Structure 1
Amino acid sequence: MSATASDFARAAAPARWSKIVGTGSFLPERVVSNDQLARDLAERGIETSDQWIVERTGIRQRHLAEKGVTSSELGFEACVRALADAGVDASEVDLIIVATSTPDFVFPSTACLIQAKLGASNAAAFDVQAVCSGFVYALTTADSFIQAGRAKCALVIGTEVFSRILDWNDRGTCVLFGDGAGAVVLRASNEPGVLSAKLHSDGSQMKILCAAGNVAYGEVTGDPFLRMEGQAVFKQAVTVLDKVAREVCDEANVSLDSVDWLIPHQANVRILNSTARKLGIPLERVVVTVDSHANTSAASVPLALDVARRDGRIQPGQLVMLQGVGGGFTWGAVLARM
């Protein structure tokens, strides 16, 4: 099922490859089942149920951070685990990129906060904001740094505390999201790792998924909560995930049949299943964690990757496709040899 090395030729070969050599993840301790959430929402006069949520989303539970827990705290824990998995010391890291829509502060960046916690004094650090596509955007950026010889060892992190920006009176959104973090260690390599990547955006679609509030003159202006047009997002997501998957395979000169594992953004099980069917990828080769994590935005892809590596599904040498789609509207994919 996996492609051979000859299949990995790019139109123009990079000066060097980047390769994922370690993964890590971290979830808040508090687990909230659909039944518990339904009881909590009932106290607000909002009706929902485990059956209603599962049938529409596939979500059965989510992890929610306690008040005051930040994205940098979750991201730091994921990094510690990723570095240990890779056998890499923080002093070897020369680039840290964090994907998040829920940063600790306006500034400094969440990446700088994590850099300080790690003691990674040799690393440049910055954030990327592409919502649920954020990790794919960050991974592509780190790959470009390594290809260009600007970095040798990067930490790429997706971390979110989306519970901070949810309207708990809006049943259509508050049941969908959870908190968590995932991270990968990306190193320069003489062997094929990241084979291809494609990023896209369409700002004209911003209203279908946004959190349009901001802080100005010491006050919150606009709507500070996440808002989503569910049907529009579903239609757009399935369309663009199908297209971008074919683009990265074409660029890497491999067939979709060669992909061992598809790891899409974990938004909704119906989006995952529809995307897999359009691509002709069997559902047993799709990594699904949305049932236990819900939608963790930029954290969802690295969380799912780490879960599938640690439970033994993803093996060294296998071909993995990582996909993101989210507000902006943004989407992208990375094809990588593990």
Structure 2
Amino acid sequence: MLRAVVKGIGHYLPERVVENAEFEATLDTTDEWIRSRSGIERRHFAAEGQTTSDLAQRAAEKALEMAGFAPDDIDAIIVATSTADFTFPSAATMVQNRLGMTRGFAFDVQAVCAGFVYALANANALILSGQAERVMVIGAETFSRIMDWTDRSTCVLFGDGAGALILQAEEGAGDGADRGILSTDLNSDGRYRDLLYVDGGISTGTSGVLRMQGREVFRHAVEKLAETAHAALARAGLGHEDVDWVVPHQANIRIIQSTAKKLGLDMDKVVVTVQDHGNTSAASIPLALSVGVARGQIKPGDVVVTEAIGGGLAWGSVVIRW
């Protein structure tokens, strides 16, 4: 049986670091207030003129370096983003060009904070179907460009960044001991559109800003993230006792803690980066995966569960043996 096995990973964060205290000058907020409600201490903001495809390119180069691949060794690039540089062309084709990749194909996936999970599932399907042998999956965002800087309940939560991961087709036995993606679970429910959205787009002629009903999003997140993780583990023939690491969407430390509890896992099995990155939407999970590898937490053979929820609502999870 073919498996999509991780061969390289990398991430990039813009140089500008924004500590919580910076917001005290313009908003009725404090460092303590932000930390206590979100766990966030700082985040990175892209420089003027620095685009989502710029960040994605930098992360992609690091993933290629780790894997020992040249750009033309890659068959496909999938970029998960809600903040592409333009309405079109896709950020993925721009990254393809920037890398000097002259073959294959590239496209974007838009599922907001769940985007990287959706992109991983699509990459896995491309590999299992034989459409591609090597796929680069990138999550990249510049959410600082769609913030309402007068809304203290949202603008302090988000940051910019990118993470990239390379998958390669390899033969496996077809059981839970295989390396690579073992299962995926994707879900959405458009009835909850108004809980988290951007109030702009083609229909308004403006880029718009992010709007969120935080309390309702929290409630749905804890319930749905635990459910999707359980579903993906069951499909892989694994239980929570088999999990070495959970790498969740880094939105809010309280959501992360509550979901871990529902999964029956201690926090020492959870990779947490929200304190340093804030919520980077589709970049959140690949950033955390890359940091977890760099820290020496995630090692070859480990069972890793990634799970995320975002606007739509859209949510899902992927189980990977590293």
Scaled by the length of structure 1, the TM-score of the pair is: 0.92
Distance in 2 between residues matched to 1:172 and 1:162, nearest whole Å: 15
SS in 2 for 1:234: helix
Distance in 2 between residues matched to 1:328 and 1:20, nearest whole Å: 28
* Gaps in structure 1 of 5+ consecutive residues: 1-14
Moved over 2 A (4+): none
- Is 1:56 paired with 2:37? yes
Match of 1:325 in 2: 309
SS in 2 for 1:171: coil
Match of 2:268 in 1: 284
- Is 1:68 paired with 2:49? yes
Counterpart among 122, 126, 133 of residue 141 in structure 1: 122
Distance in 2 between residues matched to 1:85 and 1:327, nearest whole Å: 32
- Is 1:293 paired with 2:293? no
Identity of aligned residues (%): 49
Match of 1:38 in 2: 24
Cα offset for 1:212?
Answer: 2.8
Scaled by the length of structure 2, the TM-score of the pair is: 0.96
Match of 2:186 in 1: 199
Counterpart among 204, 209, 212 of residue 196 in structure 2: 209
Residues 157, 299 of structure 1: 8 Å contact kept: yes
Match of 1:311 in 2: 295
SS in 2 for 1:214: coil
Farther off after superposition, 294-303 or 62-71 = 62-71
Deviations 1:183-216 (A, max 9, x none): 0001001132100000000000010000031135
Cα offset for 1:241?
Answer: 0.5
Match of 1:156 in 2: 137
- Is 1:126 paired with 2:111? no
Match of 1:220 in 2: 205
Distance in 2 between residues matched to 1:243 and 1:320, nearest whole Å: 16
Deviations 1:124-179 (A, max 9, x none): 10000000000000010000000000000011000000000000010010000000
- What root-mean-square deviation, in Å, do the aligned CA atoms of Structure 1 and Structure 2 show? 1.0
**One-letter amino acid of the structure 2 residue matched with residue 70 of structure 1:** T
**One-letter amino acid of the structure 1 residue matched with residue 241 of structure 2:** D
Count of matched residue pairs: 316
Deviations 1:206-233 (A, max 9, x none): 10000031135xx725x81100000000
Deviations 1:275-333 (A, max 9, x none): 00111111000000000000000000000000000111111010000111100100000
Distance in 1 between residues matched to 2:22 and 2:217, nearest whole Å: 27
Deviations 1:97-139 (A, max 9, x none): 0000000001100000000001111221000000000000001
Distance in 2 between residues matched to 1:170 and 1:48, nearest whole Å: 10
Map residues 263-282 of structure 1 onto 2, 5 A cutoff: 263-282=247-266
Deviations 1:8-51 (A, max 9, x none): xxxxxxx4110111100000000010012222x2xxxx210000
**One-letter amino acid of the structure 2 residue matched with residue 233 of structure 1:** V
* Gaps in structure 2 of 5+ consecutive residues: 173-177
